Amino acid sequence: MTKVERALETRERILTAACEVIAEIGFENVSMRKVAEHAGVSKALLHYHFDTREKLFAEAMTHSFAQTGTDTEGDAGSVPAVALARILRSMLPSDAELRQDWKLWQELWVRAQRDAAARHLAVDLYDQLHAWVGGAVERGIESGEFDDCDVAALSTLVLALCDGLGIRLMLDDPRLDLAAARSTIWRAIAPALGVPETFPEL
């Protein structure tokens, strides 16, 4: 392994550890020492890669978002409805890893109310989510599987529904489960897309 490869591997390990620690105890309780211990690196090495908690938090959020996107990268060639359904699945807290991602998002929402840098980061990540959903819809329209529709408005609706229903799933609301959340979102967007209202089989 080259020096550059070792540095990248260490950075990846630190970011993964930061995501886990922030999700577990909340950003306000996180120290650089705790992240270093969890990553199995020295505090000095951690500071070499990230000199402040704020920079580490921002990078951890971006890392978490990128990992979620990587999980669905292969969907570009899938049937458009299935590709969009997989994106929706990844935007809800449907497994342990995605619940961790959601905890990070919730930390970001809180920080964004008080911190301009966190607010800009949140807006930027929402722009990327918007483009992610919109891209899947546009591919479906181009292929003829989806009806022509207002892509921007539909993407905004998807994000709003995922946020609202996702919060209830994170709260373990007994009146809502994952299947019902997916079904609710799909029924809301299916008429505009011109597809059946049943959530696609994945």
**pLDDT (tens digit per residue) in 164-190:** 999 999 999 999 999 999 999 999 999
Query: Taking 70 as the threshold, does the pLDDT of residue 76 lie above it?
Result: no
Read off the pLDDT of residues 46-68 as tens digits, 9 standing for 90 and up.
Answer: 999 998 998 999 999 888 888 77
CA distance 175 to 202: 24
CA distance 59 to 12: 10
Read off the pLDDT of residues 186-201 as tens digits, 9 standing for 90 and up.
Answer: 999 999 999 999 999 8
Containing H/E element for 122?
Answer: helix 116-143
Mean pLDDT of the chain, nearest integer = 91
Contacts of 36 (CB under 8 A, 6+ apart): 14, 42, 43, 45, 46
Q: Kindly state the tokens that stand for 80.
A: 């458009």
